[in-house]
Amino acid sequence: MTSTTSSSGKNPTVFEVAQHAGVSAMTVSRVLSGGEQVAPATRERVLSSVRALGYQRNNVARALRPGQRSCLIGVVVSNIDNPYYSQLVIGIEERANESGRRILLAGSSEDDAREREIIADFLGWRVEGLIAVPTGSTATWQPQHLGGIPVVFASRTLPSGQGDSVVIDDTGGAREVTARLLARGHTRIAFLGNSDRVSTGRRRYRGYRDAHEAAGLAVDPGLVVRGQPAVANARDSAMSLLAVPGPPTAVFATNNRYGVGLLQAMAKLHGHHPANGPAIAVFDPFELSELVPWPLMTLRHDPRELGRQAADLLLRRLDNELTGPPQHTTLTTSVLEQSP
Amino acid sequence: MTSTTSSSGKNPTVFEVAQHAGVSAMTVSRVLSGGEQVAPATRERVLSSVRALGYQRNNVARALRPGQRSCLIGVVVSNIDNPYYSQLVIGIEERANESGRRILLAGSSEDDAREREIIADFLGWRVEGLIAVPTGSTATWQPQHLGGIPVVFASRTLPSGQGDSVVIDDTGGAREVTARLLARGHTRIAFLGNSDRVSTGRRRYRGYRDAHEAAGLAVDPGLVVRGQPAVANARDSAMSLLAVPGPPTAVFATNNRYGVGLLQAMAKLHGHHPANGPAIAVFDPFELSELVPWPLMTLRHDPRELGRQAADLLLRRLDNELTGPPQHTTLTTSVLEQSP
DNA sequence: CTGAAAGCGCTTACAG
DNA sequence: CTGAAAGCGCTTACAG
pLDDT at site A313: 97
CA(B327)–C1'(D1) in Å?
53
**Stretch 196-215 of chain A: residues touching chain B, C-beta under 8 Å:** none
Q: Are strands A189-193 and A224-226 parallel, antiparallel or unpaired?
A: parallel
The pLDDT tens digits for B180-213 are 999 999 999 999 999 999 999 999 999 999 999 9
pLDDT at site B129: 96
Query: In this complex, is the C-beta atom of A263 within 8 Å of any C-beta atom belonging to chain B?
Result: yes
pLDDT at site A207: 97
DSSP character at residue A139 = G
Long-range pairs for B181-187 at CB < 8 Å and ≥24 separation? B181/B250, B181/B252, B181/B279, B181/B281, B181/B297, B182/B211, B182/B212, B182/B215, B182/B217, B184/B250, B184/B279, B186/B249, B186/B250, B186/B279, B187/B217, B187/B249
pLDDT at site A9: 53
> Which range is least confidently modeled, A91-105, A189-203, B244-258, B320-334?
B244-258
Most distant CA pair in chain B, distance: 86
**Nearest CA among B125, B175, B171, B132 for reference residue B150:** B132
Taking the mean position of all CA atoms in its chain, how far away is CA A252?
Answer: 23
pLDDT at site B35: 66
The dihedral through the CA atoms of B5, B11, B16, B17 has a sign that is: positive
Are residues A288 and A47 in contact, defined by beta-carbon separation less than 8 angstroms? no
| Mean local confidence (pLDDT), B287-296 | 88
Q: Confidence band (pLDDT; 50, 70, 90) for A259?
A: very high
Burial A140-172 (b: 16+ CB within 10 A, else e): bbeeebbbebbbbbbbbbbeeebbbbbbbbbbb
Whole-angstrom distance, CA of residue A164 vs CA of residue A168: 14
| pLDDT at position A243 over 90 | no
Whole-angstrom distance, CA of residue A213 vs CA of residue A225: 19
Whole-angstrom distance, CA of residue B99 vs CA of residue A333: 40
- Percent of all residues in chain A with a pLDDT value above 70, rounded to a whole number: 95
Calculate how close chain A gets to B297, using CA atoms only, in Å. 16
Structural Rg of chain B based on CA atoms: 26
Q: Which of B57, B291, B340 minimises the CB distance to A124?
A: B57
Tell me if B103 and A105 make a contact (CB, 8 A cut-off). Answer: yes
Tell me if A64 and B60 make a contact (CB, 8 A cut-off). Answer: yes
SS3 label, residue A189: strand
Alpha helices in A25-165 (DSSP H): 25-33, 40-53, 59-64, 83-98, 112-124
Can you name the residues that pair with A102 across neighbouring β-strands? A72
- Percent of all residues in chain A with a pLDDT value above 90, rounded to a whole number: 63
pLDDT at site A186: 94
| Mean local confidence (pLDDT), B63-84 | 91
Query: In this complex, is the C-beta atom of A11 within 8 Å of any C-beta atom belonging to chain B?
Result: yes
Whole-angstrom distance, CA of residue A158 vs CA of residue A145: 15
Are residues B282 and B265 in contact, defined by beta-carbon separation less than 8 angstroms? no
CA distances from B242 to A240, B183, B252 (A): 41, 21, 12
The pLDDT tens digits for A279-331 are 999 999 888 888 888 889 999 999 999 999 999 999 999 999 999 999 999 99
Helical pair B303-318 and B83-98, crossing angle rounded to 10 deg = 40
Q: Confidence band (pLDDT; 50, 70, 90) for A274?
A: low
Q: Could you identify the residue whose CA is nearest to the C1' atom of nucleotide C3?
A: B24
| pLDDT at position A234 over 70 | yes
pLDDT at site B2: 34
pLDDT at site A12: 87
> Which range is least confidently modeled, A113-117, A227-231, A285-289, A324-328?
A227-231
Answer yes or no: is B11 CB < 7 A from strand D.
Answer: yes
Q: What is the DSSP string of B297-340?
A: EEEE--HHHHHHHHHHHHHHHHTTSS-SS--EEEE--EEEEE--
Residue ranges and CATH numbers for the domains of chain A are 14-57 (1.10.260.40), 72-168+304-331 (3.40.50.2300), 170-302 (3.40.50.2300)
Calculate how close chain B gets to A210, using CA atoms only, in Å. 31
| Mean local confidence (pLDDT), A183-193 | 94
| Mean local confidence (pLDDT), A236-262 | 91
Query: In this complex, is the C-beta atom of A103 within 8 Å of any C-beta atom belonging to chain B?
Result: yes
The pLDDT tens digits for B133-162 are 999 889 899 988 888 899 999 999 998 889
Whole-angstrom distance, CA of residue B122 vs CA of residue B76: 9
SS3 label, residue B165: strand
Q: Confidence band (pLDDT; 50, 70, 90) for B274?
A: low
Are residues B193 and B227 in contact, defined by beta-carbon separation less than 8 angstroms? no
| pLDDT at position B84 over 60 | yes
| Mean local confidence (pLDDT), B279-285 | 93
Whole-angstrom distance, CA of residue A262 vs CA of residue A234: 7
Q: Tell me phi and psi for residue A75, to 5 degrees.
A: -120, 120
CA distances from B41 to A69, A158, A323, B38, B48 (A): 39, 40, 46, 8, 11
| pLDDT at position A190 over 80 | yes
pLDDT at site A275: 63
> Which residues in chain B are closer than 8 Å to A11, comparing Cβ atoms?
123, 147
Q: Confidence band (pLDDT; 50, 70, 90) for B275?
A: low
Give the best-scoring range by mean pLDDT among A245-254, A307-316, B63-72, B251-260.
A307-316
| Mean local confidence (pLDDT), B25-43 | 82
Q: Could you identify the residue whose CA is nearest to the C1' atom of nucleotide C2?
A: B27
Q: Confidence band (pLDDT; 50, 70, 90) for B39?
A: confident
Query: In this complex, is the C-beta atom of B292 within 8 Å of any C-beta atom belonging to chain A?
Result: yes
Q: Higher model confidence: residue B232 or residue B306?
A: B306
**3-state helix vs strand vs coil in chain B, percent to 5:** 45, 15, 40
CA distances from A303 to A66, A84, A100, A119 (A): 36, 6, 22, 23
Overall size of chain A counted in residues = 340
CA distances from B199 to A82, A147, B152, B194 (A): 28, 46, 15, 9
Q: Are strands A334-338 and A296-300 parallel, antiparallel or unpaired?
A: antiparallel
What is the average pLDDT score of chain B?
Answer: 90
End-to-end CA distance of chain B: 63
Helical pair A40-53 and A25-33, crossing angle rounded to 10 deg = 90
Sheet-wide strand order for A129-132:
A328-331, A164-168, A151-154, A129-132, A72-77, A102-107, B102-107, B72-77, B129-132, B151-154, B164-168, B328-331
Are residues A38 and A23 in contact, defined by beta-carbon separation less than 8 angstroms? no
CA(A64)–C1'(C12) in Å?
12
Q: Confidence band (pLDDT; 50, 70, 90) for A271?
A: confident
The dihedral through the CA atoms of B86, B90, B91, B95 has a sign that is: positive
Q: Are strands A164-168 and A72-77 parallel, antiparallel or unpaired?
A: unpaired
Are residues A9 and B148 in contact, defined by beta-carbon separation less than 8 angstroms? yes
| pLDDT at position A229 over 70 | yes
| Mean local confidence (pLDDT), A176-182 | 97
| Mean local confidence (pLDDT), A96-121 | 95
Whole-angstrom distance, CA of residue B80 vs CA of residue A103: 13
pLDDT at site A7: 40
- Percent of all residues in chain B with a pLDDT value above 90, rounded to a whole number: 63
